[in-house]
Structure 1
């Protein structure tokens, strides 16, 4: 019997700097309702879904910076998401900026949570692979200061049982790194949810930046195929505060095939009935880790590191 998770990716168009949490949450609730009307069990929102992508600016005022972060989840302004999820019987993935105080010190993370159909938080993930810079870069119209405003995630890449399968999460730049998927793949992940806010000019090299859309899908499709998992990639897109953001939200099968893709640069729902057992076929054949993967070879490579002299400077 097939194990079906009907999933929706809730792409978001631009969020203006002036847009309030209340307004943004209302957009998310509307997308959640549309996803449910299509039969979805789970809706995947994007990275930093509650605010504009604030790391594009140098922000020196502490109070101004703090206003972009959530100190609790749910809080008064995000509670409607949880109430609606419970009322509709739909789960969701939500990306946001998290601020916690530990030992008298503020800690900031780029975070995502997975919420079940009852409105209860099932799991939390904090972004590990932070792109960009800690200091402003000269000559850039928009900065990319994630390394200034966030710490690398300290929760690893866990998986959770929910929605009839094994679920995992990552965020934006994590999708480019094979270990993101492999660590979850080794735990039997069957669906990876990820939100992204990706600009077209993130490297500063036009030859690379011109391939942003290709690389976006390439990394997700490779991760899905090589780890026999569904991948749900949800974009923030359009022209946000003068920054061009990539769309192309996609639902990707364990075969690596894109089975649904957005067609706009605005708020848009795409959905698909995902059979979790499709990944099982790949795990039992091509990517049978127990039968075909050779971890001993990796260990020998690590032990021998330095045996080959580095190239001359």
Structure 2
């Protein structure tokens, strides 16, 4: 019997204010990853431009599009089809009068399987997302792609074990997190990259699943508000070990391969899902 495997990739890059230049860069990295046989390729969060929620400005609402209209979604759909890869595409979504921080899942035929809308919306110095985005209404999902079943959360979602577990309970075989995170404006000495990695490594261990995180790098200026993004994108295996990782300045793609059948056996053997006590969890969790 043929073994089911999956090869995944995370893109790490700097981005600027020009959407076309950013799209060209992401498309080139997707092609690089495909040359290394990657089947699921993850760009960072909101790669179309600078990370604009560092400040509140209504002009940014003009950069939101419907899922079928966004130039980057449409372009990467075509690329996914031509390369026969899966691309979770982060974008600023507009649906009627509502705005979301979303990911469209492009399968290998270029079709959009659906949209996940970021559930946990941060609101603090440098990350003023509640001004722009409504909390997502899609719930956590697992997407059955041609190459495997993936769960996708977005940035702040990655800090919540409930989100990872919910995607696993939907059948995810791999967890992916597009991200835009870096310095904290109130404390320039605070570097959260280590704890950022560790919390997701914990999700990998507790759910016996590989985790992929793609972050941006570089310093961006948003009309006088400057913020630095620390990179450290990584791929962790089912035991939480980092099997591929970048530093704070690297640009490129990380690629790793996993045996999905072996992972399923490991997950069953460890009994994390067998021994859950849902009868005890409700109290105090809401």
Q: TM-score, normalised by structure 1?
A: 0.83
Aligned counterparts of 1:265 and 1:3: Cα–Cα separation in 2:
34
Deviation at 1:168, TM superposition (A): 0.7
Q: If you compute each CA radius of gyration, which structure gives the higher value, 1 or 2?
A: 1
Structure 2 CA distance for partners of 1:284 and 1:78, relative to 1, 3 Å: closer
Q: Distance in 1 between matches of 2:164 and 2:72?
A: 32
1:69-108 alignment runs, 5 A limit: 69-76=64-71, 78-101=73-96, 106-108=97-99
- Shift of the alpha carbon at 1:123? 2.7
Secondary structure, counterpart of 2:198 in structure 1 = helix
Paired with 2:147 and 2:80, the residues of 1 have a C-alpha distance of 18
For 1:248, what is the secondary structure of its paired residue? coil
Query: Which residue of 13, 24, 29 corresponds with 2:22?
Result: 24
Partner of 2:239: 255
Q: Using structure 2 for the length normalisation, give the TM-score.
A: 0.91
Choose 78-87 or 146-155, whichever is displaced more.
Answer: 78-87
- Structure 2 partner of 1:119: 110
Whether the 8 Å CA contact 2:77–2:112 is kept in 1: the answer is: no
Asked if 1 retains the 8 angstrom alpha-carbon contact of 2:16 and 2:22, the reply is: no
What does residue 239 of structure 1 align with? 219
> RMSD of the alignment, in Å?
2.1
Pairwise CA distance, 1:265: 2.2
Unaligned runs of 5+ in 1: 134-139, 306-313
Q: Which of 210, 224, 235 is the equivalent residue of 1:230?
A: 210
CA deviation after TM superposition for structure 1 residue 78, in Å: 4.4
Query: For 1:215-259, what per-residue CA distance to the aligned partner results, in whole angstroms no more than 9, with x for missing partners?
Result: 111111011111121111000112122311121111111111111
Query: Do the aligned residues in 2 keep the contact of 1:49 with 1:94 (CA within 8 Å)?
Result: no
**1:53-79 alpha-carbon deviations (Å, 9 max, x no partner):** 01012204xxx2223212333544543
> Is 1:132 the equivalent of 2:123?
yes
* Aligned counterparts of 1:157 and 1:7: Cα–Cα separation in 2: 21
Give the unaligned 5+ runs of structure 2.
Answer: none
Q: Is the 8 A contact 1:42 1:92 kept in 2?
A: yes
Q: Give the whole-Å Cα distance in 1 for the aligned partners of 2:79 and 2:170.
A: 31
